[in-house]
Structure 1
Amino acid sequence: MAANIYIEHEAVYLRRIANGDHLAFEVVFRYYRDKVFNIAYKLTGSREMADDIVQDIFLQVWLKRSIMADVQHFKAYLFTLSRNYIARYIKRNARLIFTQASENDGVPEEAADRLLQEKEYAGILQQAIARLPAQQAEVYRLSKQEGLKREEVAGIMGISPETVKAHLALAMRSIRAYCMMRLGIPVLVYLLIS
């Protein structure tokens, strides 16, 4: 019940955060920290690293607080921020993560293999997006990475919702074809959960 109340009033909390309200920030932090932690832990296999990642991500939210009132889909915003930050974190700390994953940290050796595979998939996906025409890439970014609805993307880009739909369909087809050529069937699972 409390979660539903929070979601109903999330925009209010975000406006308060934009005005520097520490208590509103604490409410948002408490609501999302475990979700971000679980993603970070799943990808790094380290509770310590996951804690560091959570702190760094929410520090970024606080430092960018002036834009929070304009964020319409905070969950999508936060998870895009988290995914991008974690990818950079893993790249910077790959040796340490793989060492911990293969030692007796309680994380199976398969976690290191999965982490490498996900990193490879993410890299191929980014290459595929980079190859898109500019408008398709922007539609994909706003729709899939920022989590905006078709009408919102249309409003931002100054095009019709049907044009957004067409660009997104072409972008997805192009991305899937590129990824299939590079990785084969397993990447489709990654694309579906990204």
Structure 2
Amino acid sequence: MVRTSDITQLSEAALVREIHAKNRQAFTFIYERHFQELAMAAFRYVKDAGIAQELVQEVFIRIWEQPSLLDENGALRAYLYKAVINHAINYLKREKNIARHHSLIAESLTDSYLHNLQEEQELKLRIYQEIEKLPKQCAKVFKMSRFDGLKYREIAEQLQISEKTVENHIINALRILRENLFYRQDNSRDYTTNLRLMQLFALLAGDLLSRL
């Protein structure tokens, strides 16, 4: 397997080979690079951001569990788009004759749904705990932006700092969080759980993810 520092320089074909070899760093790199654009592609069909994100995650989990789905000589990005769109279309077919509220009631009664809900809440709690460990001013700016929904200008005015300083605090917070959540991670977590944690982190990072 290649070194982590070399992953960003690999071609699509080389990345696919690394996934076939179960290289988690390569898989995570692809996940973080394409997650948002694939979620937007799915959203065009299902019209629900949460469901779109779940569909994309399911596609990635299936790829991790069955890397042979990826053709080493194929175009990776094109395959991901095709897989996500097909998954979205199949979802719509399944939901076509089921009233949404009936579906939710049935889903809420399953052990799987309750387990996933509990796990998601535990992962959110883990993220919130890490946010509280950030430097005081950094944590304050981050929460004002991500939880209070304030714009950079509004935060800058309230704290009497520049908008650039606000942006730097948020980028620094995201870097620290990613380091603590993924590179100093609990080895007892399975990879599917890590994927869910990545999804929650990607939602927090938003359009700044590519700059981390």
TM band (smaller chain):
0.3 to 0.5
TM-score by length of 2: 0.39
TM-score by length of 1: 0.43
